Every structure is written in C-alpha cells, then in structure tokens.
Amino acid sequence: MAPLTIETLDTGPVRAQTRSRWFFPAVSGVLLAGLVVGFAKTFFLRSLFDVRPLPPYLYVHGIVLTAWYALILAQTSLVAAHRTDLHRRLGVLAVGVAMAVVPLSTFVVVRAVPRMQGRDPATLCILVVGDLLMLVFFTGFVAAGV
C-alpha cells in the first residue's frame, strides 16, 4: 500500500464543487443574453428596425426588468466568487428593483388586455392569469431570498 500523500488524495469533490459554483452565474448569463436577443428588435435595437412606437410605460418596464436580470447575474457571480459581503449590499438595491417589478409588470399585463382583443377569450384569460400568477411566485421567491 502506497503512503498517503497530498498527490494521492482524491480531489474529485473539490473540482465538482468549483465547477458547480459557477452554474448559477452561467444560467443567469444565459437568461440575460436571451432577454437581450429576444427583445433586441423591439426594445434594445429598435432604432435600427421599422417597429411601432412604444408607450413610455413599456420603456420603464423594459429598463427595470433588464436591471433585474443584470442584478441577478451580478448577485450569483458575487456569491460564486465568495464575495457575500458585496452580495448583501447589492441585495438592498435588488429588493428595490424587485419591488418595482411587481407593480410595473402588473400594469403592463392589465394594459396588454385591450391590445389583445380579438384573440380567443380562453387564451387571453390563460395569458393574463398566468402572468399575474408568475408575479405572485416572483414575490414569494424574492421574499424567501431576502
């Protein structure tokens, strides 16, 4: 039997832990990238395309939700980098942004109903109730995170 040395120790779990700690920042980055790509034509790069004008409240909604996704990426990256001191301080701003997301998103959902007239009422109901239910879950998850 060989003597136990640093070289013979199994470092598998340590490597797995190092890789897995970057899972949440990676997922947050993918979500932020999906947001930017998905709304590039209608929000982020709208001056390059021929699209309908947006009402001002949708600009505010877009800015606040983009800030939320950017904060999630920052927060998960700070935890992965073991900077929980900064994570907690930035969390105060994140709570404020989250508190803005709920009423703004509710307003956007309610204002979307007249624009979706002509659709199947059952589909419209599912969209509205689903979006509002997601805001309830969002509120609960943010509260649990705080």
- Residues 55, 60, 61, 63, CA torsion sign: positive
Ramachandran sector of residue 124 (left: φ over 0; alpha: ψ -120 to 50; beta: rest)? alpha
Q: Tens digits of per-residue pLDDT, 39-63?
A: 999 999 999 999 999 999 999 999 9
pLDDT < 50: residue spans in the chain: 8
Q: Which of the 8 DSSP states describes residue 13?
A: H
Single-letter amino acid, residue 142: V
pLDDT of residue 130: 95
pLDDT of residue 3: 58
